[in-house]
Amino acid sequence: MDNDNLKQAYEVLGLPENASREELEREFDILLRRSRSRNLDPGEAEEIERKIQAYKQIVETEEQRKLAELTRRRYEKWGKFAGTAEKVDDFFRLYRNYVIIGIIAIAAIIWGTNAYLNHLEEQRRLAALPPIDLSIIMAGNYMTDDQNGGVDALEQAMTAQIPGFQRVEIEMLYLPMQGEALTTADIAYQQKAMAVIASTSPDIYITDEPTFEWLSNGGAFLSLDDLVNGELKDFLTEDSLVKDVSDEDNTEHVYGIKVTNSRLVKDLPLGYTDLIISLRVDAKNKDKAITMIKTYLENVPKAAE
């Protein structure tokens, strides 16, 4: 904006050309308050808009002058090469996005290639493994020793305990102790658990008591009444039975078997408070799940021991 137009903008606002920025902002605040009035006639509204445009012109001119001064100071250190430095800077300013996009594209190609190769390697590794005997979701306040194999070590230990098993697959879902003040991280763990449980179909769930109470209301657990009164009857005590009331018939059923006291559980590389085994309604390996429960129950010390 030339000086004449700038002078005219100040005149529109009723301010001298040497008015401070504070005076300018004060005038603008007054204009804004007036513009919000519901009783403005068309002439007043037009006048306010003209003054607001004048304010914008003055501010833009001031900012352009400041920018020009900053640019001059920035390049004066280059002396006679100031023009060249400014051109180089302009180039990167104009084409910066293209350069960044190019770098990102190259990085994405490298990352994608590595991810694909890693995927192939993982597929080869999985293909070499024996078939899964049981898929397990272990949800609750459980901890594995990540420095000594973590979940992999737990899978191997559990597989070795069950006769005839070659492989179990475990997905750990940490859930904080109920009743404690939940942190943001605890809430995130709960949300993750809900998402995983809603989208996966394991053969069995291993839970602690608070998590059992949380999950048993969802209808995912199979009633174990027939097993309790049949195949597993000789191995059970009343304390082993974990029950809940079914929403379908409003009757109490057994949905979990507590194996916390089993010697085998104590040998697992796992931090726990208790272990309750529940079968999923649509378990694909129901017979093997029953074998696992029976094996753990067989290793629960009798009262006389």
Report the relative pairing of strands 168-174 and 143-144 from DSSP bridges.
Answer: unpaired
Tally of domains in the chain = 2
Same domain membership, residue 261 and residue 145: yes
What dihedral do alpha carbons 281, 194, 215, 202 form, nearest 10°?
30
Asked if residue 186 and residue 273 are part of one domain, the reply reads yes
- Per-residue pLDDT of 194-245, as tens digits, reads 888 888 899 999 999 988 988 887 778 999 999 999 989 888 888 899 999 8
Angle at which helix 3-13 crosses helix 42-75, to 10 degrees, equals 140
CB atoms within 10 A of CB 85: 14
Please tell me whether residues 142 and 287 are part of one structural domain: yes
Separation of first and last alpha carbons in the chain:
98
Q: What is the pLDDT of residues 167-200, one digit of tens each?
A: 999 999 988 776 566 677 778 888 888 888 888 8
- Domain assignment of residue 34, given as a range: 3-79
161 and 261 in a single domain? The answer is yes
Local confidence band at 286 (pLDDT 50, 70, 90 cut-offs): very high
Model confidence, pTM: 0.59
Residues 159 and 275 in one domain: yes
Q: Is residue 139 part of a domain?
A: yes
Place of tokens 């006291």: 261
CATH code of the domain in which 271 resides: 3.40.190.10
The model's pLDDT over 45-89, given as tens digits with 9 standing for 90+, comes to: 888 888 888 888 888 888 888 777 766 666 566 555 555 655 666
Residue 156 sits in the same domain as residue 37? no
Whether residue 247 lies inside any domain: the answer is yes
- Average pLDDT over the chain, rounded to whole? 84
Most confident segment among 75-84, 121-130, 153-162: 153-162
Position 147 in a domain: yes
Classify residue 12: in a domain, yes or no: yes
If asked whether residues 150 and 70 sit together in one domain, one would say no
221 and 152 within one domain: yes
Residue 303 lies in a domain: no
Q: Give a yes or no: residue 116 inside a domain.
A: no
Q: Are residue 171 and residue 255 in the same domain, yes or no?
A: yes
147 plus 264 within the same structural domain: yes
Cα–Cα distance measured from residue 194 to residue 191, given in angstroms and rounded to the nearest whole number: 5
